[in-house]
């Protein structure tokens, strides 16, 4: 039923008016409480996925701040940087 899709989308975009209209229309067309809850849970899992993918931005921002602070400390106290690279053969 397309109205269940509209219920899920209304929850994803967070529009209380859309939720009200589409839930009532879904019920009018014979939709059950269980179907509506299932659509809401699908919407919740969709948003959760987006939130998790955006969480990487928060972590990167946090790390960049630490890296900038560390770089400032290093520039105040110049030190020699040694980098070692290890090559691993697949044989």
Instruction: State residue 71's pLDDT score.
Output: 65
- Rounded to whole angstroms, the Cα distance separating 8 from 3 reads 9
What pTM, to 2 d.p., does this model score? 0.58
Render pLDDT for 39-73 as a digit per residue (tens, 0 to 9): 999 998 888 777 777 778 878 888 887 767 666 66
Residue 26 has pLDDT above 90, yes or no: yes
- The Cβ of residue 39 has, within 10 Å, a number of other Cβ atoms equal to 24
Is the torsion defined by CA of 40, 46, 48, 50 positive or negative? negative
Mean pLDDT of the chain: 80
Instruction: State residue 58's pLDDT score.
Output: 79
* 2 φψ region: left (φ > 0), alpha (ψ -120 to 50), beta (else): alpha
| C-alpha pair distances (Å), 36 with each of 5, 11, 52, 71 | 10, 11, 24, 53
């Amino acid at each position: 039923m397309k109205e269940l899709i509209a219920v899920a989308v209304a929850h994803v975009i967070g529009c209380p008016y859309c939720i009200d209209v589409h839930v009532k229309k879904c019920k009018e067309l014979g939709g059950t409480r269980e179907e509506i809850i299932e659509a809401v849970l699908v919407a919740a899992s969709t948003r959760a996925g987006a939130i998790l993918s955006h969480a990487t931005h928060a972590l990167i921002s946090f790390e960049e701040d630490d890296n900038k602070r560390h770089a400032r400390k290093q520039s105040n106290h110049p030190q020699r940087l040694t980098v070692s690279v290890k090559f691993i053969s697949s044989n």
